[in-house]
Amino acid sequence: MPHPNRLEEAPYMSGEFSTNRTDELKGYGFKPGVVLSYSEPGFYVRDVKASLFESRYSTPKTISVKLSEPYRVPVVIDLAKAVERKDEAAEVLPGIAVYYEDPDWYAEGWVQNRSQRVRLYMTTDGPSVDGVYVQVISDEPEDDDLIYHATID
């Protein structure tokens, strides 16, 4: 089942949509449209790296991404960027930022055997990916500048 990027195409998804995280999600690299999030993705940072660096045309390495409840699709990562996170709670000298040891990850990739691209923002805890935000990349412009977010755990 394909994942919609437009809110009106999303009636089968569980969860309530909210626009109150639009600015935060834009900061993660998302564009206006539908963004879903979930925890316990079932893959690790090493799986994302393997998909990016070890995939071949005939033998792609995929990660399993949830695009709606309970549907998952195999995604081949072809772009990834480490995102350093500031530790806002750390007490330091004025003007000195403290960062967490392990970065979060922004990635894009193809849904295997489909002409559909997705963007992901993955929160991490050491080698584990503990949360995922996912959005289908669309060429169609959105009607407004909002991001409609829902959690699909």
**Is 95 contained in some domain?**
yes
- pLDDT given at position 59: 95
Verdict on whether the full-model pTM lies above 0.75: yes
**Is 2 contained in some domain?**
no
β-pairing, 33-39 vs 128-137, is antiparallel
**Is 114 contained in some domain?**
yes
**Is 88 contained in some domain?**
yes
59-111 residue pLDDT tens = 999 999 988 777 889 999 999 999 988 777 776 777 777 778 889 999 999 99
List strand residue ranges (DSSP E) for the chain, in order.
33-39, 63-66, 72-83, 104-111, 117-125, 128-137, 147-151
Domain boundaries, position 34: 7-151
Beta bridge partners of 148: 34
**Is 1 contained in some domain?**
no
- At residue 15 the predicted structure's pLDDT band, cuts being 50, 70 and 90, is low
**Is 112 contained in some domain?**
yes
User: Whole-angstrom Cα distance, residue 50 to residue 83?
Assistant: 18
**Is 34 contained in some domain?**
yes
**Is 72 contained in some domain?**
yes
- pLDDT given at position 6: 45
Count up the domains in the chain and report the number: 1
Alpha helices in the chain (DSSP H): 22-27, 45-54
